[in-house]
């Protein structure tokens, strides 16, 4: 379980997150929805320990970052953006690197086929499109076989066929008892991918639902009409 309690985060002395609570269970794919600049990336970076929090606690599978940092770091896979991939390494090289670092038994070849990456597996990152790089990040997570995937905007740059592959892969990951936390502005596809969504507003989670029937309407009610609650 990923458990965030009373989290507050400051950046340059501005409180970006304040008293945020969120629990995500195994087998859940949770989408974080909010307008630009609300703090989704800040939340993800805090979970990933790239930013310190000023108050509250984050626990993954009972490991607290403040107490058992090494075990905590083994619980999640977070790749900040496609820009952080190594430009001169190939797709294959990235995947074998992850396999080595995570000491994983997952077959790189199987993952390449699953994500239909065979055609560009030997290409260097600098020669890939954004969509191909997004596939690679998911493939790296699958090879790592770690319990939690945190992915900011996984649908960026994906064409409709790639989105379908992504939806299928996310559903498979979900049935394997993992946790996925993603953000996206693509409400239609969030509905297809997620089992639950949470809306962020005014520095915390303000709405949490498994009823994904009409996210567009909910979005308008929360952000355009002065709030639901």
Ligand X SMILES: Nc1ncnc2c1ncn2[C@@H]1O[C@H](COP(=O)(O)OP(=O)(O)OP(=O)(O)O)[C@@H](O)[C@H]1O
The residues that touch ligand X, with contacts defined as CB under 6 A, are: 11-12, 14, 16, 34, 36-42
Order of strands across the sheet that contains 14-24: 14-24, 2-11, 55-60, 63-64
| Rounded least distance, CB 2 to ligand X, Å | 18
Q: Nearest approach, Cβ of 36 to ligand X (angstroms)?
A: 3
Q: Token pair of 31, please?
A: 């989408």
Using the minimum distance from each CB to ligand X, give the nearer residue, 14 or 175.
Answer: 14
CB of 67 to ligand X, least distance (A): 26
**What one-character DSSP code corresponds to residue 82?**
G
Nearer to ligand X, 15 or 68 (CB): 15
Establish how many alpha carbons lie within 13 A of residue 138's alpha carbon, considering only the half-sphere containing its beta carbon.
Answer: 31
In whole angstroms, how close is the CB of 117 to ligand X at the nearest point? 26
Distance CA 18, CA 122 (A): 45
Q: Minimum distance between the CB of residue 186 and ligand X, rounded to whole angstroms?
A: 12
CB nearer to ligand X: give 97 or 223: 223
Q: Say what the alpha-carbon torsion angle 216, 165, 130, 133 is, to the nearest 10 degrees.
A: 130
Please report how many Cα atoms fall inside a 13 Å half-sphere around the Cα of residue 49, on the Cβ side. 17
- DSSP conformation letters of 50-70: SS--SEEEEEETTEETTT-HH
Q: Which is nearer to ligand X, 84 or 127 (CB)?
A: 84
What is the 3-state secondary structure of 162-206? HHHHHHHHHHHHHHCCCEEEEECCCHHHHHHHCCEEEEEECCEEE
14 or 88: CB nearest ligand X: 14
State in angstroms the smallest separation of the CB of 122 from ligand X: 32
Q: Which is nearer to ligand X, 37 or 213 (CB)?
A: 37
Q: Which residues pair with 124 in a beta bridge?
A: 90
């Amino acid at each position: 379980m990923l458990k965030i309690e009373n989290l507050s985060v400051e950046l340059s002395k501005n409180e970006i997150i304040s008293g945020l609570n969120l629990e995500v269970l195994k087998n859940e794919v949770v989408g974080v929805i909010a307008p630009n600049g609300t703090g989704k990336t800040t939340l993800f970076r805090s979970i990933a320990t790239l930013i310190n929090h000023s108050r509250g606690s984050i626990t993954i599978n009972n490991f607290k970052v403040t107490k058992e940092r090494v075990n905590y770091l083994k619980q999640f896979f977070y790749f900040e953006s496609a820009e952080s991939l190594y430009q001169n390494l190939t797709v294959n090289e990235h995947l074998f690197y992850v396999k080595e670092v995570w000491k994983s038994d997952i077959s790189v070849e199987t993952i390449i086929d699953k994500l239909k990456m065979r055609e560009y597996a030997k290409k260097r990152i600098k020669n890939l499109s954004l969509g191909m790089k997004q596939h690679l990040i998911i493939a790296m997570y699958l090879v790592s076989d770690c319990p939690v995937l945190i992915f900011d905007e996984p649908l960026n740059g994906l064409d409709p066929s790639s989105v379908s592959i992504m939806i299928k892969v996310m559903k498979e990951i979900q049935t394997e008892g993992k946790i996925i936390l993603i953000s996206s502005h693509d409400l239609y596809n969030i509905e297809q991918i997620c089992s639950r969504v949470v809306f962020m507003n005014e520095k915390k989670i303000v709405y949490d639902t498994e009823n994904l029937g009409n996210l567009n309407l909910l979005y308008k009610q929360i952000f355009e009409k002065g709030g639901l609650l």
